[in-house]
Structures are given as structure tokens and as C-alpha cells.
């Protein structure tokens, strides 16, 4: 008896999906899970292992399978999850694998558009008991002198309050979001290469998500 069971492709036509759709199907529809198995705790639950061989190994260990519970994800969904688990470190490794799975479950892509438009805002806020609201923090008499003269030519000078500010929606923050999106896209390209022709009921199409959606319409 061989360890791995030959798995023939179904006779009906395979469903065509993009790599993004396949990931969303595996993690959102089929509820596939990542399992970074460092200690071999799931050695007898691998995809495409002969079920008779699994039962024999469990019998040797004295294992008993509990009844009930939910059904396992489809075989193709487990294959997809296994390939995502194996992402190389130069493409983000486990951190990227986790991000891809979480985004696929939510059927989303990384946020590439800055949520905050360019502008300025107070650097900090403080609660004002008198007005019962949050107010910008100021530094009393920390600004440049303000000099003026009255009608009688009397010189007056005052040093005013200053509200420290920060810049929001900067080019640096937008660039960081774009880099994060491009890293996700590169990881999907690797998964596209590995999963094409590796699934039984799904055919991965040539389509990829936009490589730089922030440039569309320029």
C-alpha cells in the first residue's frame, strides 16, 4: 500500500477562478485554516494521504476519531492553504501568509489609498472640563513676539500661544501603503505560479489584481 493515493481529476470541467477568487473561495467559503505545523502535530492530516494509511497509523497510536463537528474544507482549499503556508521569507513568509488569509476571508485587498487627505492637525488634544470637549493642546507664550503700536504710537508687544501641528496624509505615508500593496501583489504572483495546474477542480486564470491601482486613470 502506498502512502499517497492517486487523485484523478474530475470529468466535469474545472471552475475558472482568478488567484484572488481562489484564495477567497478557500479561506472565506471553505473556511480553510493556516497551520504552521512546527512539531508535526498534524502529520496524519495532510492532503492527498491515503485514508486507509491514516487509519492504520492512528490505530498504532491508539487514536480515536470523535464524531460530529463540521466537515473539512475541500481538497483544493486545503492545497491552497498549504501553498500559502509555504510562502518564502523573501516574500514575507508567515507574516504575509497570515495577511493574505485574513484579507481573503474578508474579501478585501490591502488599503492602498490614504484614508487621510493631505493637511495639518493639532499634534495633541486635551479634555477641557469647562467646555466639556476635546481641545487642541497649546503652549502658552511660546510663539514669536507680536508687536504693534496704538494710535498714540505707544509700542506694545505680546508673545502669543502656539498650537504644535503635524502634517497628515503625507507622501511618505502614502508610499508606505503602496509598498505594502505591492508586497501583497508579489506574493499573489508567486501563489499564481505555484497553483496553476496544481488543483483538481479549479483552473487558475491568467488574471491578476491591478499591480498599481493608484495609477489607474492617470
> What's the helix, strand, coil split of the chain in %, to 5?
35, 15, 45
Q: Tell me the pLDDT tens digit for each residue of 77-122.
A: 999 999 999 999 999 999 999 999 999 999 999 988 766 677 888 8
Task: Give residue 116's pLDDT.
Answer: 64
Q: Tell me the pLDDT tens digit for each residue of 6-55.
A: 444 445 678 999 999 999 999 999 999 998 865 444 444 545 444 444 45
Domain-wise residue ranges, the chain: 15-114+170-215, 119-168
Task: Give residue 12's pLDDT.
Answer: 62
Instruction: Give the helix/strand (H/E) hosting 121.
Output: strand 119-122
* Statement: residue 214 has pLDDT above 70: yes
101 vs 109: CA distance, rounded Å: 11
Query: Which of 93, 102, 84, 72 is CA-nearest to residue 35?
Result: 84
Task: Give residue 56's pLDDT.
Answer: 54
Task: Give residue 218's pLDDT.
Answer: 61
Strand, helix or coil for residue 91? helix
Could you tell me how many residues make up the chain? 218
173 vs 153: CA distance, rounded Å: 50
| C-alpha cell at position 185 | 501583489
* Statement: residue 202 has pLDDT above 60: yes
Q: Tell me the pLDDT tens digit for each residue of 138-170.
A: 777 666 677 778 888 888 877 777 788 887 777
Amino acid at each position: 500500500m502506498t502512502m499517497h493515493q492517486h487523485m484523478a481529476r474530475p470529468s466535469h470541467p474545472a471552475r475558472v477562478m482568478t488567484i484572488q477568487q481562489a484564495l477567497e473561495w478557500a479561506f472565506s467559503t471553505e473556511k480553510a485554516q493556516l497551520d504552521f505545523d512546527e512539531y508535526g502535530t498534524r502529520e496524519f492530516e495532510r492532503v492527498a494521504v491515503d485514508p486507509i494509511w491514516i487509519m492504520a497509523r492512528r490505530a498504532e497510536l491508539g487514536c480515536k476519531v470523535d464524531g460530529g463537528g463540521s466537515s473539512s474544507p475541500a481538497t483544493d482549499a486545503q492545497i491552497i492553504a498549504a501553498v500559502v503556508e509555504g510562502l518564502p521569507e523573501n516574500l514575507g513568509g508567515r507574516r504575509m501568509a497570515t495577511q493574505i488569509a485574513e484579507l481573503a476571508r474578508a474579501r478585501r485587498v490591502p488599503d492602498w489609498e490614504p484614508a487621510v487627505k493631505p493637511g495639518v492637525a493639532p499634534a495633541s488634544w486635551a479634555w477641557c472640563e469647562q467646555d466639556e470637549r476635546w481641545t487642541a493642546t497649546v503652549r502658552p507664550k511660546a510663539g514669536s513676539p507680536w508687536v504693534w503700536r496704538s494710535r498714540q504710537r505707544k509700542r506694545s508687544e505680546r508673545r502669543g500661544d502656539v498650537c504644535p501641528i503635524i502634517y497628515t496624509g503625507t507622501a511618505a505615508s502614502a508610499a508606505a501603503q503602496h509598498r505594502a500593496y505591492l508586497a501583497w501583489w508579489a506574493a499573489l504572483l508567486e501563489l499564481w505560479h505555484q497553483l496553476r495546474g496544481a488543483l483538481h477542480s479549479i483552473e487558475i486564470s491568467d488574471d491578476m489584481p491591478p499591480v498599481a491601482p493608484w495609477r489607474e486613470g492617470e
